Amino acid sequence: MNIILISALIIAAIAVVAAVVLYVVSQKFKVYEDPRIDEVAALLPGANCGGCGLPGCRNFAENVVKAGGLKGKTCPAGGVSVNSAIAEMFGEGVGEVVPQKVVVRCNGSCEHAPAKVHYDSIPSCAYFHMTYAGESGCAYGCLGCGDCVAVCKFDAIAIDGETKLPKVNNNCVLCGACVTACPRTILAIVPISEAGTIVVGCMNKEKGVDAKKNCKIACIGCKKCEKTCEFGAITVENNLATIDYEKCKVCLKCMDGCPAKGIKLV
């Protein structure tokens, strides 16, 4: 009986010592976490999309609290309401929010860029891009395998069954995941206006005669759009027209004057 009692007392003593040691260690190495992190995290959508440039919503909340406000950062998935609420928490204004959208900078549909070969391998744009120019022969156009679709967490993009090009819907939160996933930078986030957005639907940097071999409405680098624009908003470099959206007034003169009909209003 005495042996059992002694054993029980020894175990109890060990348990008490261990508890004390654990308490002292936990207090000594305790990490303080600002309660505002939880408050900011509660306002965020919890999508963990990475559109803010950080691994997840918790990381964004920690970054905001550490900086003492948004300080130029933004949560694309949260939109104006979420960012305004966070800004209000820290007594700062969210500033002017410029409406944006994801656009497809390729007109290489089945009609405009008919397939010359059939790709029958790993269904990945990244892999296709490394191994071959594309079914139409254009080394700059959309490959249509849907890497952009696979990374979208909001069901905001799909490959159109008729054109074989990506199509973005109203679910888009501008997280930028699809933009990053595209190996040919076909997708881009650009500002929009009430009149719409002008987009050059081509990324081909080949000379016009070579570009037209693979796509009927490829940019031919003729510079007619550049000469037509009265605001200096469009320039042609490396045989490709590009738009400066800070200067563009959506006057549509570049679109109307494009002989290739590759500039579009979206």
- pLDDT tens-place string over residues 41-64: 999 988 888 888 888 899 999 999
| pLDDT at residue 30 in the model | 66
| pLDDT at residue 164 in the model | 94
- Residue 45 has phi, psi (to 5 degrees) of -70, -15
Count Cβ atoms within 10 A of the Cβ of residue 15 and give its class: 0-12 exposed, 13-18 middle, 19 or more buried: exposed
User: Of the candidates 50, 78, 59, which has an alpha carbon nearest to the alpha carbon of residue 179?
Assistant: 50
Q: Which CATH class is domain 36-89?
A: mainly alpha
| pLDDT at residue 73 in the model | 83
Question: Half-sphere exposure of 253 toward its Cβ, with a 13 Å CA cutoff?
Answer: 15
pLDDT for residue 91 is more than 80 = yes
Residue pair 101/168 in contact by the 8 Å Cβ criterion: yes
100-265 adopts what CATH topology?
Alpha-Beta Plaits (3.30.70)
| pLDDT at residue 17 in the model | 85
Residue pair 209/264 in contact by the 8 Å Cβ criterion: no
Residues of the chain within CATH 1.10.15 domain(s) are: 36-89
In whole numbers, what is the pLDDT of the chain averaged over residues?
Answer: 90
Question: Half-sphere exposure of 117 toward its Cβ, with a 13 Å CA cutoff?
Answer: 11
| pLDDT at residue 33 in the model | 75
- pLDDT tens-place string over residues 104-162: 999 999 999 999 999 999 999 999 999 988 999 999 999 999 999 999 988 999 999 99
Q: What percent of the chain has pLDDT over 90?
A: 59
Average pLDDT over residues 199-214: 94
pLDDT for residue 244 is more than 80 = yes
DSSP-derived pairing of the beta strands 263-265 and 157-159: unpaired
Which residues lie closer than 8 Å to 211 by C-beta, 6 or more apart? 138, 202, 204, 218, 219, 220, 239
Q: Is the dihedral of CA 110, 115, 120, 122 positive or negative?
A: negative
Can you tell me the distance from the alpha carbon of 108 to that of 184, in angstroms, rounded to the nearest whole number?
13
DSSP-derived pairing of the beta strands 157-159 and 240-243: unpaired
C-alpha dihedral, 246 to 251 to 257 to 262, nearest 10°: 60
DSSP-derived pairing of the beta strands 157-159 and 166-168: antiparallel
Question: Two tokens at 221?
Answer: 């680098």
Residue pair 175/156 in contact by the 8 Å Cβ criterion: no
| pLDDT at residue 232 in the model | 94
Name the residue with tokens 């348990």. 15
Can you tell me the distance from the alpha carbon of 130 to that of 112, in angstroms, rounded to the nearest whole number?
23
Can you tell me the distance from the alpha carbon of 250 to that of 265, in angstroms, rounded to the nearest whole number?
8
Residues of the chain within CATH 3.30.70.20 domain(s) are: 100-265
| pLDDT at residue 31 in the model | 67
| pLDDT at residue 250 in the model | 94
Can you tell me the distance from the alpha carbon of 212 to that of 262, in angstroms, rounded to the nearest whole number?
11
Average pLDDT over residues 211-237: 94
SS3 120: coil
